[in-house]
């Protein structure tokens, strides 16, 4: 069929395409999926979108994934189960910790929040990108706090401990500020740069690590947290 020929030709062309930085990866994924579909490879189109959507969901990928799923006789519950299976397989146990809170000097442990979804952010006061991400992280917390989201911020530079509370109070941040240090953050949580943000499920598994710095990444993180909170309610 002409559509299959056109789809196959499009796939060959896409193999050689170098995507400019201003073209989103999700746009390329959707274009490739359409070409695969036209070439008669609906199952491949669905499978590739599924593998892309599980770690990095997006508002345009989601309807396309469910639409391809329906054509393969998969209802929404089946697609959801397949997404969850991929996420569960890729998840890693969150490393337990017990750190002092800047608020009251008491110890806060990750295990205190078993059965809760945790947004865990590593930062330090003089980190420009950290300060830029905080308004977006605060929006995420505001949106999901009623569903039980826990918001923790670990200061990774010990020599900046004295600056934490003045910044926290002046900016009106709502995360629970905890005392960490660079060596611990690096060796235990693999933090190589700041901010580094982890999204931990109610099963104490780390599912996502998304730096939120603009509206696009905000939407991705929002979808990730929504999925974890939905799973926590099951």
Backbone angles phi, psi at 60, to 5 degrees: -90, -30
pLDDT band at 233 (very low <50, low <70, confident <90, very high): confident
Record the pTM. Answer: 0.89
List of residues 6+ apart from 169 with CB closer than 8 A: none
Give the tens place of pLDDT for each residue, 11-40.
Answer: 555 455 555 544 478 888 999 999 999 999
Mean pLDDT, residues 141-169 taken together: 97
113-128: b (≥16 Cβ within 10 Å) or e: beebbbbbbbbbbebe
pLDDT band at 201 (very low <50, low <70, confident <90, very high): very high
Output the pLDDT for position 9.
53
Output the pLDDT for position 13.
53
pLDDT band at 3 (very low <50, low <70, confident <90, very high): very low
């Amino acid at each position: 069929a002409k559509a299959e020929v056109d789809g196959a030709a499009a796939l060959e062309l896409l193999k050689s395409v170098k995507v400019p930085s201003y073209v989103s990866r999700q746009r390329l994924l959707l274009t490739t999926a359409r070409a695969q579909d036209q070439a008669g490879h609906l199952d491949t189109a669905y499978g590739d979108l599924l593998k892309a959507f599980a770690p990095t969901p997006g508002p345009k990928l989601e309807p396309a994934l469910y639409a391809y799923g329906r054509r393969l006789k998969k209802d929404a519950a089946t697609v959801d189960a397949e997404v969850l299976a991929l996420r569960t397989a890729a998840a890693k146990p969150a490393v337990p910790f017990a750190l002092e809170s800047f608020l009251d000097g008491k110890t806060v442990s990750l295990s205190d929040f078993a059965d809760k979804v945790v947004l865990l952010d590593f930062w330090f006061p003089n980190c420009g990108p950290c300060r830029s991400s905080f308004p977006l992280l605060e929006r995420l917390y505001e949106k999901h706090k009623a569903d039980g989201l826990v918001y923790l911020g670990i200061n990774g530079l010990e020599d900046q401990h004295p600056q934490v509370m003045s910044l926290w109070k002046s900016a009106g941040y709502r995360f629970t500020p905890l005392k960490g240090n660079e060596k611990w953050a690096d060796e235990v949580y693999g933090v190589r740069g700041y901010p580094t943000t982890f999204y931990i499920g109610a099963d104490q598994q780390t599912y996502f690590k998304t730096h939120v710095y603009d509206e696009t990444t905000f939407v991705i993180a929002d979808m990730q947290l929504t999925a974890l909170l939905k799973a926590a309610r099951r």
